[in-house]
A = this chain, B = another copy of it.
Amino acid sequence: MTNQMRASYLVEPGEVALRNTDVPALDSDQVLVQVAAVGVCGSDVHFYQHGKLGPFVVDQPLILGHELSGVIAAVGSDVDPSRIGQRVAVEPQRPCGKCAQCNSGRYNLCPEMIFFATPPVDGAFCEYVAIQSKFAYEIPDSISFNAAALIEPLSVAIWALQRAEIKAGSTVLIAGAGPIGVIVAQAAKAMGATEIIITDISEDRLAFALKNGATRAINVANDNLDGVQVEIFVDASGSAPAVYAGIKAVGPAGYAILVGMGNDDVLLPVSHIQNNEIWVSGVFRYINTWPLGIQMVASGQIDLDVVVTATFGLSEVDAALNNGKLPNQLKAIVDPRIN
């Protein structure tokens, strides 16, 4: 292994460039992961198109990508060298470990969080990344690198549903039948939900979701949610009208968890929330979800490979980032081991 690697940088909005850079140096508690698969996330696309996302602005070349898997290639001085060669799924964050949030087990809310592909922290569209050993989770051979990378969005789904106190027999409404919506549907089923309604404006996406977790599909281009009442609503659309309508469909003492990112401020049906004592919140990434996610995929309860519709090499990151514009595409993967 040389100490140089190839990496795909976002150099300005709409433009990525393949460059050589140093392989990351390891802290004593880290491992070096040779990246094998990186999922393209909506936030990557947003950075690519706009050069910023919410408060985060890309003002120097940045490596995108934070849904990843790979193989451990080297270990820091405090890590067991027998880990070298392990296939792993990566939880792409480094909390400080010292603050009140970290000490309380809510490390996702750590104010000092270092998170992949969030300026100025580089991500995973490159050959090697460094990560704390504890956040590189070994995966069994039965899990593909693609599926292992997608344990990141699965983690979002698991955490959203855990926050909504999902349990055997829960009823769930999901807005948006994109990759996240489909993964939420699969996770809801695996976590015991018995009625899983999904909405979208694409018949193709809805048909796909019905094959992968959802028990009922509603095309909100033609239909509304009148008469729908659920215990849990998960927004995976980021659409303000979908959020509004979804919350209205939540019954007494239910939960609305907003996963999709849209406008900073959204008009919500506050009287309905008050009169039904609905809990509204969002998720900010995840905590402690990889072990369960790996187990769900390994056991076959959840099929993440099914959402992968295209794969690209490291020199094709621009194509990967534009792939979502093509018809019938769900999740694109970048494999830095090819070209």
Interface residues of A (CB under 8 A from B): 29, 54, 97-101, 103-109, 111, 132-134, 158, 162-163, 167-169, 190-192, 194, 243-244, 252-253, 258, 261-284, 287-288, 291-292, 295-296, 299
CB pairs A–B below 8 angstroms (28 shown): A98-B133, A98-B134, A100-B288, A104-B253, A104-B287, A106-B253, A111-B252, A168-B190, A168-B192, A169-B291, A169-B295, A190-B192, A192-B192, A194-B299, A244-B265, A258-B270, A263-B271, A264-B269, A264-B270, A264-B271, A265-B267, A265-B268, A265-B270, A267-B267, A273-B280, A276-B284, A277-B283, A279-B280
B168 near A296 (CB under 8 angstroms)? Answer: yes
Taking CB atoms, residues of chain B closer than 8 Å to A97 are 97
The answer to whether A278 and B281 touch (CB under 8 A), given A169-B292, A192-B192, A299-B194, is: yes
Q: How far is the CA of A211 from the CA of B134 in the complex (A)?
A: 37
Q: How many monomers of this chain does the complex have?
A: 4
- Of A133, A266, A295, chain B has the most CB atoms within 10 Å of the CB of A266
Taking CB atoms, residues of chain B closer than 8 Å to A244 are 265
Q: How far is the CA of A282 from the CA of B254 in the complex (A)?
A: 12
Taking CB atoms, residues of chain B closer than 8 Å to A284 are 274-277
Q: Which B residue's beta carbon lies closest to that of A134? A: B98
Q: Which B residue's beta carbon lies closest to that of A111? A: B252
The answer to whether A253 and B101 touch (CB under 8 A), given A192-B191, A270-B265, A281-B277, is: yes
Q: How far is the CA of A108 from the CA of B167 in the complex (A)?
A: 21
Taking CB atoms, residues of chain B closer than 8 Å to A274 are 258, 261, 281-284
**What are the 6 A-B residue pairs with the smallest beta carbon separation, nearest first?**
A105-B105, A274-B282, A109-B252, A264-B271, A98-B134, A168-B191
B194 near A54 (CB under 8 angstroms)? Answer: no
The answer to whether A282 and B275 touch (CB under 8 A), given A97-B97, A252-B101, is: yes
Q: How far is the CA of A270 from the CA of B291 in the complex (A)?
A: 29
Taking CB atoms, residues of chain B closer than 8 Å to A29 are 98
How distant is A118 from chain B, measured CB to nearest CB, in Å?
A: 12
Taking CB atoms, residues of chain B closer than 8 Å to A98 are 29, 132-134
Taking CB atoms, residues of chain B closer than 8 Å to A100 are 288, 291
B109 near A277 (CB under 8 angstroms)? Answer: yes
A103 near B105 (CB under 8 angstroms)? Answer: yes
From B106, B194, B295, give the contact of A295 (CB < 8 A).
Answer: B194
Q: How far is the CA of A284 from the CA of B278 in the complex (A)?
A: 10
Q: Which B residue's beta carbon lies closest to that of A162? A: B167
Taking CB atoms, residues of chain B closer than 8 Å to A105 are 103-106
Q: How far is the CA of A261 from the CA of B104 in the complex (A)?
A: 26
The answer to whether A109 and B295 touch (CB under 8 A), given A163-B277, A270-B282, is: no
Taking CB atoms, residues of chain B closer than 8 Å to A108 are 277
Q: How far is the CA of A167 from the CA of B146 in the complex (A)?
A: 26
Taking CB atoms, residues of chain B closer than 8 Å to A291 are 100, 169
Taking CB atoms, residues of chain B closer than 8 Å to A111 are 252
